[in-house]
Structure 1
Amino acid sequence: MSKSKKIDPLQIIVEEGNKIQFYGAKNQNGLFSNFYKSPIKLKGKIWQTTEHYFQAQKFAGTSKEEEVRNAPGPGTAFRLGRKKDKQFPIRNDWEKAKNTVMYEAIKAKFTQHDNLKQILLSTKNNIIIEHTKRDAYWGDGGDGKGKNTLGILLMKLRKELSAENKKEETQQN
């Protein structure tokens, strides 16, 4: 029996075509996953993962928000956020707000953890793709035809952080 090689989710692997594909926190390029454990502070509270924050914001201002925030793991937070619940319906503006909420979450993650910020910046101009058949909105749909919204938001954040770094360097010189 051969031992399977342990994957380091912090090691960036660039594939052909300058693509950085990810799916899942423990897989290749896993730090980009919303399930990757990197606590963030937003709204005066600590969230275990960006997934906890994102799913909880569907119920902002209700006790369900806290239930999702306190979920034991990102998978549970995901399931709670998707569970149909007449007592706690998803907020009316969710479709308009979800991209902004996701951006808030990833911005917190990559600005509150300097190591993650440096890794994101190190990806330069590579294309970041959430590669999964399970999601054609946040991911690429598995066939590259999905919207890859999460990847696009990560690249937007990378561009902003890179511009901030250049501005700071210019001011220091």
Structure 2
Amino acid sequence: MSSGIFADHDQDAMYFTRSDVNEDFGSFSKHPFQLEDKEWPSVEHYYQAMKFDDQAYQETIRCADHPKKARKLGRNRFRSIRKDWRDVKVVYMTRAVYTMCRTYPDIATKLLTTGSNRLVENSQYDYFWGCGRDRRGDNHFGKVLMNVRDKLHTEAQDL
């Protein structure tokens, strides 16, 4: 149990930043992959585009020159986000991360070498995808990575 306003430090956790283009596990990592008959420059491009039913706007996001630009386009509040987005957003993030790992075996191997460590997206502002400022956030991006790691581990055992 935590003794203060901040969660206890987890000795077995590995912290990373999702929005760092140099972080292989991050959604901004520039590792293009094929999904839904298109090449996506990053996980972030795919995730942001899937927020919208408008295929022309999806294409605008897919063609953004940087993941940061894709995120900005995906946060455009003048565009109508699909009605089921809250229910499906983790599925789309998982699909993109898994596909990236299957496309780049070196990233999959790196993810597998994290063993059973808890993976934590270290965002002080994002309490859904990250751990938040007080480390009590939902850490859904870390959970996505750990679930993909488990699936990759199971697939490796089945070979």
Task: Give the equivalent residue in structure 2 for 1:79.
Answer: 72
Q: 1:17 aligns with which of 4, 7, 11?
A: 11
Task: Give the equivalent residue in structure 1 for 2:122.
Answer: 131
3-state SS, counterpart of residue 133 of structure 1: coil
3-state SS, counterpart of residue 97 of structure 1: helix
Q: Does the CA contact (< 8 Å) of 1:133 and 1:140 recur in 2?
A: yes
Instruction: Say which structure, 1 or 2, has more relative contact order (CA 8 Å, 6+ apart).
Output: 2
Q: Does the CA contact (< 8 Å) of 2:14 and 2:120 recur in 1?
A: yes
3-state SS, counterpart of residue 21 of structure 1: strand
% identical aligned pairs? 33
Q: Does the CA contact (< 8 Å) of 1:132 and 1:142 recur in 2?
A: yes
1:97-121, CA deviations, whole angstroms, 9 ceiling, x for partnerless residues?
1011111110111111011011001
| Deviation (angstroms), 1:61 | 4.4
Q: Does the CA contact (< 8 Å) of 1:129 and 1:151 recur in 2?
A: yes
3-state SS, counterpart of residue 99 of structure 2: helix
Q: 1:60 to 1:108 in 2, by over 3 A?
A: farther
Task: Give the equivalent residue in structure 2 for 1:161.
Answer: 152
In the superposition, the TM-score normalised over structure 2's length comes to 0.90
Pair 1:42 & 2:60 matched: no
Task: Give the equivalent residue in structure 2 for 1:3.
Answer: none
Letter in 2 for 1:110: C
| Deviation (angstroms), 1:164 | 1.0
Letter in 2 for 1:17: Q
| Deviation (angstroms), 1:62 | 2.3
Select the structure of larger CA radius of gyration.
1
Task: Give the equivalent residue in structure 1 for 2:63.
Answer: 70
RMSD between superposed Cα atoms in Å: 1.5
Task: Give the equivalent residue in structure 1 for 2:3.
Answer: none
| Deviation (angstroms), 1:146 | 0.1
In the superposition, the TM-score normalised over structure 1's length comes to 0.83
Q: Distance in 2 between matches of 1:51 and 1:117?
A: 18
Number of residue-to-residue matches in the alignment:
150
3-state SS, counterpart of residue 129 of structure 1: strand
Q: Distance in 1 between matches of 2:54 and 2:156?
A: 35
1:12-48, CA deviations, whole angstroms, 9 ceiling, x for partnerless residues?
xxx9712110113256xx2111011111110000010
Superposed structure 1 runs of 4+ greater than 4 Å apart:
none
Task: Give the equivalent residue in structure 1 for 2:6.
Answer: none
Pair 1:122 & 2:117 matched: no
Q: 1:32 aligns with which of 25, 28, 37?
A: 25
Q: Distance in 2 between matches of 1:142 and 1:120?
A: 25
Unaligned runs of 5+ in 1: 1-14, 169-173
Q: Distance in 2 between matches of 1:89 and 1:26?
A: 28
Letter in 2 for 1:100: V
